Structure 1
Amino acid sequence: MSTIESRPHATQRLSVTDIDPEAYKGMLAIEKYVHAGDLESKTLHLLKIRASQINGCAYCLDMHTTESRKDGEDQRRLDVLAAWREASSWFSEAEQAVLEFTEEVTLIGKGGVSDAVWARVKASYSENQIIRLLMAISAINTWNRLAISTHQELAPL
């Protein structure tokens, strides 16, 4: 059994882009695919932030909350996103479906995606949009794993 060590002052282990710029090409192609669809950028920001909260990725949280605010997201919604169920009136039914879907896909080993969550997503999104949501959730989980594994450094305050 492994434990996650506290690393408040960890230095970056390596820079994937400096060592092998080609490594990100596939990931960037997925991002291009996801963003070329008709999903709202607000929805994509919320799912990226929620997955990054679950995974504990400070680098991605910083990036995606900053982007979300630039795109006009209300700071209060970002502040309560980790507790979105308690603040459900601030999130549309479709957003709630995406957040729940994001949680179950991100934590796939805890029982997969339930039929109830699948039905909730299907009620708000087309099959093509669901594919893009799955690709977006999969991508952010990979980005989180890359950033956390390498101790990717945050931009200075």
Structure 2
Amino acid sequence: METRFDMFGNELALKFAKRFANAGAVITDSPLPASIQELVSLRASQINGCGWCVDMHTKEAAAHGESAERLNLVAVWRETTVFDAAERAALAFAEEGTRLADAHQGVSDETWAAVRKHYDDDRIAALVALVSLINAANRMAVIVHQKGGSYRPGMFDAALAGQS
């Protein structure tokens, strides 16, 4: 399938993308560790089948020092030893927050308690916003069939630079 629509080539879509990125900047600038942000974004993107976002978050995480081993194991994080308890809580939260239709309660009490154990209120606020935002980004990219494979670290920011 070919990309249906260029979200960076349309003035209205680009304006929206800029505002969307500004919302993301609040999360980027939050105290939630960048490594957690990328792992959570990658896991939600894998679940949603978003090739563009998997490509982006894998490459951005690697550019910021994340190991290939850990990136390769995000999809099977429960079956690994490479993620600590705080990362595991965030990955569980990402999965449950992404798969809302799969469980009547959304994020389980057990997962919420694990997140509460490892993160303060500001980090939780950022985590809730991040899971919401990455799911929206995944849906936009999947709807237009935006393909992964061509992303380069910093490309998204560069595409939005100078837009109002």
TM-score normalised per structure 1: 0.89
Aligned: 1:101 with 2:93: yes
- Return the alpha-carbon distance in structure 2 between the equivalents of residues 153 and 125 of structure 1: 34
- The aligned counterpart of 1:11 is 2
**Partner Cα separation in structure 1 for residue 147 and residue 42 of structure 2:** 18
Task: Using the TM superposition, name which of 94-103 and 22-31 deviates more.
Answer: 22-31
Alignment CA distance shift 1:156-1:136 (3 Å): closer
Aligned residue in 2 for 1:72? 65
Which residue does the alignment assign to 1:50? 43
Secondary structure of residue in 2 paired with 1:85: helix
2:77·2:83 contact (CA, 8 Å) conserved in 1?
A: yes
- Worse-superposed segment, 11-20 or 120-129: 11-20
Amino acid at match of 2:7: V
**How many angstroms does 1:108 deviate by?**
1.1
In the alignment, is the contact (CA less than 8 A) between 2:52 and 2:146 conserved in 1? Answer: yes
Whether the 8 Å CA contact 1:69–1:75 is kept in 2: the answer is yes
How many correspondences in the alignment? 147
Please give the root-mean-square deviation of Cα atoms over the aligned residues, in Å. 1.4
Given that residues 31 and 122 in structure 2 are in contact (C-alpha distance below 8 angstroms), is that contact kept between their aligned partners in structure 1?
Answer: no
1:156, distance to aligned residue in structure 2 (A): 4.3
CA drift of 1:126 comes to: 0.7
Q: Any gaps of 5 or more consecutive residues in structure 1?
A: 1-9
**Superposition pairs for residues 118-133 of structure 1, below 5 Å?**
118-133=112-127
Q: Partners in 1 of 2:34 and 2:51 — Cα distance?
A: 20
Q: Is the counterpart of residue 40 in structure 1 residue 40 in structure 2?
A: no
Q: 1:126 to 1:156 in 2, by over 3 A?
A: closer
SS at match of 1:146: helix
Runs of 4+ in 1 over 3 A off after TM superposition: 153-157
Instruction: Calculate percent identity across the aligned residue pairs.
Output: 36
How much has 1:48 moved relative to structure 2? Answer: 0.5
Q: Which runs of 5+ in 2 are unaligned?
A: 152-164
- The alpha carbon displacement at 1:27 in A equals 1.3
Matched, 1:153 2:147: yes
Q: What does the per-residue CA deviation read over 1:77-118, in whole Å, with 9 as the maximum and x for residues that have no partner?
A: 11111110110x210100000000000000012221111100
* C-alpha contact (below 8 Å) 1:17/1:23 kept by paired residues: no
